[in-house]
Copies of this chain bind each other. A is one copy, B any other.
Amino acid sequence: MSQISDEDRQALRDGFSRYLEAEADQEKLRAGIASDRGYDNSIWQQMAEMGLLGIAISEDFDGVGGGATDVALVMEEVGRKLVPVPFASTCVVAAEMIARFVPDPIKQDLLQKIAAGQLTVSIGGTGDFVSLSDDGHSLSAELSGDSWVMNGQVSFVSHAGVADYHLLGLKEDGVDSAYLVTASDAVSAERLSTNDPAQRLFTLNFSDAEAIKLEDMDAEGINQVRMRGVAAVAAEQAGATRAIFDITMEYLRTRYQFGRPIGSFQAIKHMAADLLVEVESGTSAALAAAKALDSGSSSAEKFVSLAAFTCKDAFRTVSAQAIQMHGGIAYTEEHIAHLYWRRARAGLSLFGSSDEHREHYLKSREAA
């Protein structure tokens, strides 16, 4: 349940939206992408100041005590502008994992720092809470005296180059374990070349890196974290879908061909109307998932899966059609449409494919 009132939530959203509208234009987006960090750190710091980084963190640890609905609103706005900040990994998945499975005082320290924008966490390995699973990793954790040390390699770790901690999942004989490793000389990060320039993926190499093992990890708890991660990503996609749709509608209203705005052509209109169904379905699904999580509904599992494939597919379809509807101009690198389209493609395998989520949705309908 969220501790934030509806009015406060709306105010938060409006404030963040206004800020991004002013500060997160395409030029800044591209500059952020081109920077070492991969995103504009001033946005991240502003998010900390607005309390957004601690939105899913308890008030006990300097957070705001919000719920999935609050996370969704942040992600929708982040998605609209494609801001490639590590919010879902650090402030949702990592924050939830730490809150659940890391004992005080480390927990308090980490969560406070996350809320304050002083710390980011990258996530890798295998396990339900890992958004991009690397089943081929060679990670191993061993007890060395009192502490754990990590060795081996793992890939597909997002934003790992600048992360302060790495949260790594391992699965042995179907049992999940997870470890927190501090960025240090014992960890080297090699950047991978990606199709979406805003996506920062790394291969991490560990040689005797010290690790904190997460404790008392239960399947239900991990599943809760997973669902919150999925719902957050879905909301981001819903926001991005609506944004590229809006950009396209504006183009249709103002671009003239054959002496008329191209949006006055009936076939284009009908494409637009069909796409609006996808846009709104994405928003509704993301919202329903967040609400189900906040209310602790037994349907949460179902709604989260529904949001996952609906938002993935909607974003993919709408961004792909956006290029088509723009025509040649969107075939150029300098137009923003392909950045939305690449982001949509980059999201297809996050937390599993659409087909997998569809199957899961059907299963959870039976269970509900």
Smallest beta-carbon distance A267→chain B, Å: 4
Taking CB atoms, residues of chain B closer than 8 Å to A270 are 267, 270
- Docked complex: A245-274 residues within 8 A CB-CB of B: 265-270
- The docked-state distance in angstroms from the alpha carbon of A268 to that of B266 is 9
Closest B residue to A269 by beta carbon equals: B267
Taking CB atoms, residues of chain B closer than 8 Å to A267 are 266-267, 269-270
Taking CB atoms, residues of chain B closer than 8 Å to A266 are 265-268
- The docked-state distance in angstroms from the alpha carbon of A88 to that of B262 is 50
- Docked complex: A262-305 residues within 8 A CB-CB of B: 265-270
Question: Most B CB atoms within 10 A — which of A268, A269, A270?
Answer: A270
- The docked-state distance in angstroms from the alpha carbon of A265 to that of B270 is 11
Smallest beta-carbon distance A23→chain B, Å: 40
Smallest beta-carbon distance A182→chain B, Å: 50
Smallest beta-carbon distance A305→chain B, Å: 24
Closest B residue to A273 by beta carbon equals: B267
Taking CB atoms, residues of chain B closer than 8 Å to A269 are 267
- The docked-state distance in angstroms from the alpha carbon of A265 to that of B268 is 12
Q: Mark interface residues in A58-77 (1 if CB within 8 Å of B CB, else 0).
A: 00000000000000000000
- The docked-state distance in angstroms from the alpha carbon of A177 to that of B206 is 67
Taking CB atoms, residues of chain B closer than 8 Å to A265 are 266
Smallest beta-carbon distance A10→chain B, Å: 38
Smallest beta-carbon distance A228→chain B, Å: 37
Q: Mark interface residues in A113-156 (1 if CB within 8 Å of B CB, else 0).
A: 00000000000000000000000000000000000000000000
- Docked complex: A167-216 residues within 8 A CB-CB of B: none
- Docked complex: A159-173 residues within 8 A CB-CB of B: none
- The docked-state distance in angstroms from the alpha carbon of A351 to that of B335 is 51
Taking CB atoms, residues of chain B closer than 8 Å to A268 are 266
Closest B residue to A265 by beta carbon equals: B266
- The docked-state distance in angstroms from the alpha carbon of A266 to that of B268 is 9
- The docked-state distance in angstroms from the alpha carbon of A67 to that of B309 is 49
- The docked-state distance in angstroms from the alpha carbon of A270 to that of B271 is 11
Smallest beta-carbon distance A225→chain B, Å: 38
Closest B residue to A270 by beta carbon equals: B267
Smallest beta-carbon distance A340→chain B, Å: 24
Smallest beta-carbon distance A138→chain B, Å: 35
Smallest beta-carbon distance A259→chain B, Å: 15
- The docked-state distance in angstroms from the alpha carbon of A266 to that of B262 is 12
Q: Which 8 A-B pairs have CB atoms at the shortest separation, nearest pair first?
A: A266-B266, A266-B267, A267-B270, A267-B267, A265-B266, A267-B269, A270-B270, A266-B268
Can you spell out 8 A-B residue pairs with CB atoms less than 8 angstroms apart? A265-B266, A266-B266, A266-B267, A266-B268, A267-B267, A267-B269, A267-B270, A270-B270
Other A-B contacts than A265-B266, A266-B266, A267-B270, 5 sampled, CB-CB below 8 A, are A266-B267, A266-B268, A267-B267, A267-B269, A270-B270
